[in-house]
Structure 1
């Protein structure tokens, strides 16, 4: 590969000009070109391919200097869940059962009510929902920012984008051999998607440990007839006075719409206050 690199440096004006396959096809084989692209010695800049690190290549071409074309994107691996993450996952799954099981829901809600009863006695129900939305919003935002491995997810995104660009470049120059190699690399990358999914889902597991009991308590409070007569509903612009169990937005009940609206607003305020920016997912 030293001769191949020397050819690339020579034809690219010492690594300063972009190249196309046609520029070096007489001196390089398609396998050599494909390897340089695959190992990201050459990277696409939109108009052609340039050396990712010209200085490193020039140093490698010096006599008796070892040549290393390995990439920093190889071997992206998500951190495995610890035992406490797995325990939290099992606990979250158990809490999910409360959505279908009345017994489990009533048990969880009754314990929640022991903690929330002083608040419900002091505040109107719509204000209790606002307070719960603020607490869960703060808890969710902080946990997501601390537990989300943004660097690994971004590295995975960059890796997949590079694969896509290299595949498009190989199609443009008609390099079937490079296309086959890239397809194999994409299959290997597909196996890492499960790890990325686990990495993204880890904060959600811890978030659900608080949000699910809160939601179950609200459902128990409204649908179980545990509200006082003065807490029958909410006055909504355009809709007027609506009961907590009446549909407000399509089939969604008023209490659900109010809770989710308060949650969305509180999360936005908390993110701006704490200067926390939501991260993009690998699928973005």
Structure 2
């Protein structure tokens, strides 16, 4: 189990005393199982609890057993070199595996938002995008053009989320937080103040994991915005908001509203073309996910 090996390395890198603790547990384990009474003279209850919290020790038949003795032993034998490599890798990747390109796309996406309020940028983007999308708009009615764009944006949004989002890591974080809450509840019920203090420290450590999970979730959104904002600005420009000379594209019929123009407001200040795009986008995105059998929800292992 690569996960167990990494967890042991993390324990040792956080606290050098944990190396001797793990070695003691390995030496005292019989057929992979060990009891607290076998090791309590050589390690503290806090250290024993850390092994359980990290999943290095799990429930056994007579006590606790090592989740993966071989992986645990390998982590100790190769711990120094691997820990240094991992630390170096963390320094290189920095923002939860964000590359220079990810950061660049984030900066450009933020800049593109100015197009919604700054007419010169909107007109430039609209004119450039019209070279590509103009022929499509000529061949199809505008409501069909919006449907096509919703399919395309839904497709690449799904693929980006599936390939750039680490659902396994997110699932592990959720499992970890659920386990912490469970242990906290049990410790409160039995009045174990020492365990509560230890769990509180673990919750504080988990805050760093939460930030990493947020960055993993936001990474595909950066690329989705990078690709979608120009498309959205083109629609904004094309209906006549950005360039009145572009003309109007007639009307359409909406449930409960009847015949409406594209710039009519239907949900507060939200206009018809925006509502139609999001209806198409949500519907087609679900169909695409089902058709490609893609699930972006967090998954545990």
Q: Give TM-score, length-normalised by structure 2.
A: 0.71
CA deviation vs aligned residue, 1:235-263 (integer Å, no higher than 9, x gap): 12332111111122343211111000000
Distance, in Å, in 2 between the alignment partners of 1:127 and 1:138 is 17
Alpha-carbon offset, residue 140 of structure 1: 0.6
2:259 match: secondary structure: strand
For residues 207-256 of structure 1, what are the alpha-carbon distances to aligned partners after superposition, in whole Å with 9 as ceiling and x for unaligned? 11111111111111122335545x22211233211111112234321111
Instruction: Output the CA distance in 2 between the equivalents of 1:139 and 1:50.
Output: 50
Could you tell me which of 157, 166, 170 is aligned with 1:149? Answer: 166
Aligned-pair CA distance for 1:54? 7.3
- Partner of 1:40, secondary structure, is coil
Residue equivalent to 2:100:
83
Partner of 2:256: 238
SS in 2 for 1:277: coil
Instruction: Provide closer, same or farther for how the CA distance between residues 206 and 54 of structure 1 changes in structure 2, counting only shifts above 3 A.
Output: closer
Aligned match for 1:125, one of 142, 146, 149: 142
Tell me the secondary structure at the aligned position of residue 80 of structure 1. coil
Q: Tell me, yes or no, if the aligned pair for 2:166 and 2:216 is still in contact at 8 Å.
A: yes
Name the structure 2 match of 1:188: 205
Q: Any unmatched runs of 5+ in structure 1?
A: 69-74
Give the drift of 1:53.
4.3
Q: 1:38 aligns with which of 50, 53, 57?
A: 53
* Distance across 2 between alignment mates of 1:155 and 1:172: 26
1:259 alignment partner, SS class: helix
Q: What residue number does 2:191 align with?
A: 174
Distance (whole Å) between structure 1 residues aligned to residue 163 and residue 68 of structure 2: 37
1:106-163 CA-partner distances (Å, limit 9, x unpaired): 1111111111111111110000000110111111111111111122222222222222
The counterpart of 1:115, out of the listed 132, 140, 146, is 132
Gaps of 5+ in 2: 1-20, 77-85
Paired residues of 1:41 and 1:51 also in contact (CA < 8 A): no
Q: CA deviation at 1:271?
A: 0.7
Deviations 1:69-124 (A, max 9, x none): xxxxxx99774311111111111111112122222111111111111111111110
SS at match of 1:273: helix
Work out the CA distance in 1 between the residues paired with 2:291 and 2:126. 31
Query: Is contact 2:187-2:195 (8 Å) kept?
Result: yes
2: CA distance, partners of 1:105 / 1:281: 40
Q: Say yes or no: does 1:51 pair with 2:64.
A: yes
RMSD between aligned residues: 3.7
1:278 lines up with 2:296 in the alignment: yes
Aligned length: 255
Distance in 2, Cα, partners of 1:32 & 1:117? 66
Q: 1:89 to 1:35 in 2, by over 3 A?
A: closer
Q: Which residue of 1 aligns with 2:13?
A: none
